[in-house]
């Protein structure tokens, strides 16, 4: 990552800067407007109310759990999509990426008809005494559903650009496929895996539609921070704004931390 | 523990067989796309042929003949592959790169590192142990890669143009290291370089278009080439034709007089080749008086500097000839591509032998 020197030619027309500034403002201005609306004297009491603390704690716990689930399920998916060869591979990729473009509420309905009481698997699970819908498990499932594509896309890209030459060499040196995966493949794509995990965590943190549809809004059980904010907006606008700011702060911290760490570490260098 | 292979892969029109005695190093020579890397890929288990079989001693690598469908995965073959690029794992330092093979074979970290130290020392790279691959030069990285391949204790070492990506200063050191470590080891070296063949190999195989065209002890092949590729490597002109009493006649009717190898009594009509160095060819303008033998009208195709001489190439690719003359002579004659001249070959310097 070599910084361009100030005198170097970069070939960007001036008007592009103007349009880019508009684009940047579109993101930043609403945040500024929100911060301007914060009721600062009441800020701490607002975000430390019982319901707020419960919602924030639930959000962090479920997002952490769904990120782990994304890694456990998403890494094999990305490997199979990037390296495997089997019929229907393109179709599988299309379906795995579907939640990226699907409205989350549609995802919630789909999950409900899978794990709900009358759902495809829900009926059998109900007989076994397991009820998923409207539980904290449902929150985690909904978040995993919408967040996993971020990890898969990010990791699949990293796997493709790393190529499989190192794996071939490792195999001729006597390493079993599992050893190659653990000692060569995963370390090589670690930056891609980390940024994918961060994106998944951030997406889980912000998940609203699928959670509300599939898990409902039960305080302390399924009411995550976004749901709490939506609810508070009706009755106490100041509380909604304060909690929104907390969510923004957590998201900025997570993303900033991971990108800051990646910049300081030495990038993987592949010699031509 | 001899190595034997026979394989064909129709999609690449690849059809080859090969065997190695214990401790023998074979160089595979051939133009780009001849199937050299395909051969190594098939041996290492990275490429699956349509049919064929291979074994090292009693151990079968694959057997796809006679209804059997046995295919051993790369990690069970004991055939370490060293490519043009060192491909050191970027997240491990040199020592742990070399320790990778022993670790994969089940050695403890400490034992594997001890083994790695030994092999790093073998390739004069003991002082590089703590460096990350990004801190190594191309030559250093390739030496570490050699140590890594040897540390895996391969029964057969595969080297795919190991010197090709190195600059001219780094190559000689690696070549010396390879000469030392390949001594008494079964190895196959794919190379473009005649020097690699001379220094590293007991035997050479020349491959063209997926087939073996020539094989023999390195010296013999380079001194008595029978393929155009080997002749090109040895820096000789090569003409194929049928043997006559005092030379050979080419299919297009040209007669090359020359010296038959001693101890060989030619039978006229037999297929043969004539080989002679470009320095034995003179270039003349117009007709030559006197003996018309070994004198051929040609059209110049190319002129290029070659050492302190000018290399004059003439004729189409199949029966192309080269002459080396001094720059002064070239200027005197006013040679340019497309010009019609006469090549005259000194018959005393033409070797004629069976094809």
Does B73 contact chain A (CB < 8 Å)? yes
Residues of chain A found within 8 Å of residue B56, distances taken between Cβ atoms: none
For residue A268, the model assigns a pLDDT of 45
Instruction: Tell me which residues of chain A, numbers 86 to 105, contact chain B at a CB-CB cutoff of 8 Å.
Output: none
DSSP class of residue A265 equals S
For residue A266, the model assigns a pLDDT of 42
Q: What is the ipTM of this complex?
A: 0.81
Determine the average pLDDT of the residues in A5-16: 80
How far, in Å, CA of A31 to CA of A45, rounded?
A: 21
> End-to-end distance of chain A based on CA atoms, in angstroms?
16
Q: Is the pLDDT of residue A272 over 60?
A: no
Q: Is the pLDDT of residue B36 over 70?
A: yes
Q: Is the pLDDT of residue A18 over 70?
A: yes
Instruction: Tell me which residues of chain A, numbers 174 to 213, contact chain B at a CB-CB cutoff of 8 Å.
Output: 174-177, 179-180, 183-184, 187-188, 190
How far, in Å, CA of B27 to CA of B180, rounded?
A: 16
For residue A7, the model assigns a pLDDT of 64
Residues of chain B found within 8 Å of residue A272, distances taken between Cβ atoms: 85
| CB pair distance less than 8 Å for A175 and B75 | yes
How far, in Å, CA of B116 to CA of B210, rounded?
A: 37
Averaged pLDDT of chain B: 89
The shortest C-alpha distance from B296 to chain A (Å) reads 47
At CA B330, angle to CA B337 and CA B327, rounded to 5? 120
Identify the sign of the CA torsion B43, B45, B47, B48. Answer: positive
CB-based contact B284:B342 (threshold 8 Å): yes
Does B107 contact chain A (CB < 8 Å)? no
For residue B24, the model assigns a pLDDT of 92
Q: What is the pLDDT of residues B131-140, one digit of tens each?
A: 999 999 999 9
Q: What is the pLDDT of residues B150-178, one digit of tens each?
A: 999 999 999 999 888 888 888 888 999 99
Q: Is the pLDDT of residue B269 over 60?
A: yes
Q: What is the pLDDT of residues B181-192, one digit of tens each?
A: 998 899 999 988
Considering only B37-41, B106-110, B196-200, which range has the smallest mean pLDDT?
A: B196-200
Q: In what order do the strands lie in the sheet with B203-208?
A: B79-82, B156-160, B187-191, B25-29, B203-208, B211-217
DSSP codes, A204-242: HHH--HHHHHHH---TTTT--HHHHHHHHHHH-HHHHHH
| CB pair distance less than 8 Å for B87 and A183 | no
The shortest C-alpha distance from B6 to chain A (Å) reads 20
How far, in Å, CA of A59 to CA of A206, rounded?
A: 9
Q: Is the pLDDT of residue B355 over 80?
A: no
DSSP codes, A162-217: H-SHHHHHHHHTT--HHHHIIIIIHHHTHHHHHHHHHHHHHHHHH--HHHHHHH--
* The three-state (H, E, C) secondary structure of chain B, written as one string: CCEEEEEEEHHHCEEEEEEECCCCEEEEECCCCCCHHHHHHHHHCCCCCCEEEEEECCEEEEECCCCCCEECCHHHCCEEEECCCCCCCCCCCHHHHHCHHHHHCCCCHHHHHHHHHHHHHHCCCHHHCCCCHHHCCHHHHHHHHHHHHHHCCCCEEEEECCCCCCCCCCHHHHHHHHHHHHCCCCEEEEECCHHHHHHHCCEEEEEECCEEEEEEEHHHHHHCCCCHHHHHHHCCEEEEEEEECCEEECCCCCEEECEECCCCCCCCCCEEEEEECHHHEEEECCCCCCCCCCEEEEEEEEEEEECCEEEEEECCCCCCEEEEECHHHHHHHCCCCCCEEEEEECHHHCEEEEC
Closest to A68 in 3D by CA, of A213, A204, A216? A204
CB-based contact B94:B130 (threshold 8 Å): yes
How far, in Å, CA of A145 to CA of B213, rounded?
A: 59
How far, in Å, CA of B324 to CA of B306, rounded?
A: 8
Averaged pLDDT of chain A: 89
Using alpha carbons, list the distances in angstroms from residue B70 to A97, A182, B64: 38, 27, 6
Identify the sign of the CA torsion A181, A187, A189, A192. Answer: positive
In the structure, what pLDDT confidence band is assigned to residue B25 with cuts at 50, 70 and 90? very high
Identity of the residue in B74, B87, B134 whose CB atom sits nearest the CB atom of A171: B74
Kindly give, in sequence order, each residue whose CB lies less than 8 Å from that of residue B239, ignoring residues fewer than 6 positions away. Answer: B248, B250, B254, B256, B273, B274, B275, B319, B321
- Two structure tokens written together for B118: 């030994």
Q: What is the pLDDT of residues A115-165, one digit of tens each?
A: 988 888 988 888 888 888 889 999 999 999 999 999 999 999 999 998 889
Half-sphere exposure of A156 (CA within 13 A, CB side): 18
The alpha-carbon radius of gyration of chain B (Å, integer) is: 24
Does A121 contact chain B (CB < 8 Å)? no
The shortest C-alpha distance from B44 to chain A (Å) reads 7
For residue A53, the model assigns a pLDDT of 92
- Two structure tokens written together for B124: 């004069």
* Most confident by average pLDDT, A15-24, B214-223, B247-256, B272-281: A15-24
DSSP codes, A152-163: HHHHHHHHHHH-
For residue B43, the model assigns a pLDDT of 95
Q: What is the percentage of chain A residues whose pLDDT exceeds 90? A: 65
A163, A174, A186, best to mutate vs chain B, most B CBs in 10 Å: A174
Give the pTM: 0.81
For residue B109, the model assigns a pLDDT of 94
In the structure, what pLDDT confidence band is assigned to residue A92 with cuts at 50, 70 and 90? very high
Closest to B256 in 3D by CA, of B233, B239, B235, B280? B239
Residues of chain B found within 8 Å of residue A180, distances taken between Cβ atoms: 75
CB-based contact B285:B333 (threshold 8 Å): yes
Does B133 contact chain A (CB < 8 Å)? yes
Query: Residue written as tokens 């780094």?
Result: B170
Residues of chain A found within 8 Å of residue B101, distances taken between Cβ atoms: 173-175
Nearest CA in chain A to B137: A271
Closest to B26 in 3D by CA, of B204, B215, B193, B179? B204
CB-based contact B131:B150 (threshold 8 Å): no
Nearest CA in chain A to B87: A166
CB-based contact B258:B327 (threshold 8 Å): no
Instruction: Tell me which residues of chain A, numbers 131 to 170, contact chain B at a CB-CB cutoff of 8 Å.
Output: 165-166, 168-170
CB-based contact A81:A89 (threshold 8 Å): yes
Nearest CA in chain B to A163: B87
| CB pair distance less than 8 Å for A175 and B104 | yes
Q: What is the pLDDT of residues A210-231, one digit of tens each?
A: 999 999 999 889 999 999 999 9
A169, A178, A187, A189, best to mutate vs chain B, most B CBs in 10 Å: A169
Does B194 contact chain A (CB < 8 Å)? no
| Beta strands at B25-29 and B203-208: parallel, antiparallel or unpaired | parallel
Q: What is the pLDDT of residues B49-101, one digit of tens each?
A: 999 999 998 999 999 988 888 999 999 999 999 988 999 999 999 999 999 99
In the structure, what pLDDT confidence band is assigned to residue B194 with cuts at 50, 70 and 90? confident
Q: What is the percentage of chain B residues whose pLDDT exceeds 70? A: 97
Closest to A188 in 3D by CA, of A216, A211, A167? A167
For residue A264, the model assigns a pLDDT of 45
Identity of the residue in B73, B90, B149 whose CB atom sits nearest the CB atom of A270: B90
Closest to B267 in 3D by CA, of B248, B245, B250? B245
Between A262 and B109, the more confident residue is: B109
The alpha-carbon radius of gyration of chain A (Å, integer) is: 22
At CA A146, angle to CA A140 and CA A152, rounded to 5? 105
Identity of the residue in A172, A179, A184 whose CB atom sits nearest the CB atom of B81: A172
Closest to B146 in 3D by CA, of A206, A169, A13, A199? A169
Q: What is the pLDDT of residues B301-311, one digit of tens each?
A: 989 898 899 99
Between A52 and B267, the more confident residue is: A52
| Beta strands at B351-354 and B259-260: parallel, antiparallel or unpaired | parallel
**B189: exposed, middle or buried (C-beta count within 10 Å: 0-12, 13-18, 19+)?**
buried
């Amino acid at each position: 990552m070599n910084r361009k020197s100030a005198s170097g030619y970069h070939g960007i027309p001036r008007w592009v800067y103007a349009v880019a500034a508009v684009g940047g403002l579109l993101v930043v201005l609403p945040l500024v407007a929100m911060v301007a609306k914060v009721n600062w004297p009441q800020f701490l009491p607002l975000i430390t109310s019982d319901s707020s603390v419960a919602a924030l704690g639930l959000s962090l716990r479920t997002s952490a759990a769904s990120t782990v689930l994304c890694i456990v399920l998403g890494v094999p998916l990305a490997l199979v999509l990037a390296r495997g060869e089997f019929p229907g591979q393109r179709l599988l990729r299309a379906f795995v990426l579907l939640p990226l473009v699907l409205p989350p509420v549609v995802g919630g309905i789909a999950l409900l008809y899978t794990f709900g009481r009358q759902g495809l698997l829900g009926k059998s699970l109900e007989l076994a005494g397991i009820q998923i819908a409207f539980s904290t498990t449902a929150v985690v499932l909904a978040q995993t559903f919408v967040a996993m594509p971020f990890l898969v896309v990010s990791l699949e890209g990293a796997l493709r650009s790393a190529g499989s030459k190192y794996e071939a060499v490792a195999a001729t040196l006597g390493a079993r496929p599992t050893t190659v995966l653990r000692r060569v493949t995963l370390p090589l794509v670690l930056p891609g895996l980390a940024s994918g995990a961060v994106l998944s965590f951030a997406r889980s943190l912000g998940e609203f539609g699928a959670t509300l549809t599939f898990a409902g809004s039960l305080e302390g059980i399924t009411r995550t921070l976004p749901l709490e904010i939506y609810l508070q907006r009706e009755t106490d606008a100041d509380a909604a704004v304060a909690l929104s700011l907390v969510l923004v702060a957590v998201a900025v911290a997570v993303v900033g931390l991971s990108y800051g760490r990646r910049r300081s570490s030495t990038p993987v260098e592949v010699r031509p | 523990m001899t190595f034997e292979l026979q394989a064909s892969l129709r999609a690449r029109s690849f059809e080859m067989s090969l065997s190695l005695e214990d401790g023998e190093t074979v160089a595979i020579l051939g133009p780009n796309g001849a199937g050299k890397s395909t051969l190594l890929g098939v041996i290492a288990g990275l490429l699956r042929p349509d049919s064929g079989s291979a074994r090292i001693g009693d151990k079968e690598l694959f057997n796809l003949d006679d209804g059997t469908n046995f295919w051993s995965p790369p990690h069970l073959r004991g055939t370490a592959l060293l490519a043009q690029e060192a491909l050191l794992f970027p997240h491990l330092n040199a020592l742990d790169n070399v320790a990778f093979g022993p670790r994969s074979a089940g050695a403890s970290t400490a034992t594997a590192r001890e083994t790695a130290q030994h092999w790093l020392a073998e390739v004069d790279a003991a002082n590089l142990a703590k460096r990350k691959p990004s801190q190594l030069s191309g030559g250093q990285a390739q030496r570490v890669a050699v140590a890594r391949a040897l540390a895996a204790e391969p029964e057969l070492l595969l080297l795919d143009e190991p010197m090709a990506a190195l600059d001219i200063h780094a190559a000689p050191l690696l070549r010396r290291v390879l000469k030392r470590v390949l001594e008494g080891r079964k190895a196959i070296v794919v190379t473009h370089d005649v020097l690699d063949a001379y220094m590293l190999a007991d035997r050479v195989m020349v491959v063209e278009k997926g087939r073996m065209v020539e094989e023999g002890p390195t010296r013999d092949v380079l001194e008595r080439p029978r393929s155009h590729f080997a002749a090109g490597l040895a820096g000789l002109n090569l003409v194929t034709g049928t043997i006559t009493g005092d030379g050979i006649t080419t299919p297009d009717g040209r007669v090359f007089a020359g010296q038959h190898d001693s101890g060989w009594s030619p039978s006229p009509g037999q297929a043969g080749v004539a080989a002679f160095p470009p320095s034995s060819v003179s270039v003349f303008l117009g007709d030559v008086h006197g003996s018309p033998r070994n004198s051929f009208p040609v059209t110049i195709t190319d002129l290029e500097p070659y050492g302190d001489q000018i290399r004059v190439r003439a004729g189409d690719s199949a029966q192309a000839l080269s002459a080396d003359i001094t720059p002064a002579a070239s200027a005197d004659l006013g040679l340019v591509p497309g010009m019609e001249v006469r090549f005259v070959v000194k018959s005393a310097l033409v070797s004629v032998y069976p094809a």
